[in-house]
Amino acid sequence: GRFYSSLHAVSQGTTTDPAGLQAGRFYTWTEQELVQVLGTRRLAEFESRFELTEKGHVIPRDGQDKDEMGRRLLDALREERQRGRELPETNELIVAVYNGVFVSALVRCGTLFDQPRWLLAGERCLEGVRDGMWDPATGVLRHCSVSGQEGTLLDYGCVAAASLDLYESVGQMRWLDWAAEMVMQIRDRFEWAPDRSLSAFTRYQTSTAQQGWSKARDEPLAQAVVLRTCKKLVSILGAESELGSRVAEFERSMEASHDRVCEESYVTAQLQWWAARVEGALKLTLVANQDSTLLRAAAPFFPTVRHVSTSCLLYTSPSPRDS
């Protein structure tokens, strides 16, 4: 029931380079290929609407891909790609954090849109993660299916959040219990970093193992996911209960640890996390009340005021490349 992570980045075989083997080759184009597919006349139409980057990506110019000719040009490229290129194979790597995010999306949307099939798919997925990637004897959650490497804070946090989301949707106590177990493992296994935020790595992971991980996993998103899950757990368990009081104590430690860890930072952290992973001239927009804690937390990342009204401020971030 678990989800594979993606297609392989490397693909092979195109109409112009059948022996080629390159990362991302299935999705990119050369100028020579554009001439062969579109012809000289349509190439002029293409260049007025799109830009071809040095890496071979096609980027629309100011939304001009929305007209009929723009759609036809893109359709021609897609048809050639499907006909003349070999689709990349499935990457059968199963990653804990991805599956946690997928489960949360499935169960929330399944509840909102009354889709029992989505709830069932989410439950089957989380069962697969629990049975195949978690060791109940040691409390260790593995990062992925093909490695013994222990998960990072984002892995533990997203799986805990998914388990709690599933409990709220289907009402089964086993998922509430597992969410609480994950949070207690986070409390016991992860150390406080020098800046008093939770480290992205457990105290049991070697420095050599940590060097292979992306620094992005120490971004505020992991902290905010865990804090948000703690708050929801305390509201469900009650701060007076034994387990609820332990979670509440951990929650207070996180809130006092660093200014960037606050409930509102959950949204801001998600924006940062995605912006760091998307190339191009992406702009992120935030709308919030003038006295919003979220606005104050996000201000360093949204320096340009685009609109001011009596009720809200609208900020637009710089491109991630300029951040």
The predicted-structure confidence for 243-280, as pLDDT tens digits, reads as follows 999 999 998 887 776 554 444 455 555 555 555 554 44
93-136 pLDDT, tens digit per residue, is: 899 999 999 999 999 999 989 999 999 999 999 999 999 999 99
Distance CA(255)–CA(243), nearest Å, equals: 19
The neighbouring-strand residues paired with 312 are 289
Q: What is the pLDDT of residue 318?
A: 43
Distance CA(194)–CA(268), nearest Å, equals: 22
Residues 6 or more apart whose Cβ sits within 8 Å of residue 259: none
The overall average pLDDT reported for the chain is: 77
Residues 6 or more apart whose Cβ sits within 8 Å of residue 255: 227, 261, 262
| Contact yes or no for 48/21 (Cβ under 8 A) | no
DSSP letter at 150?
B
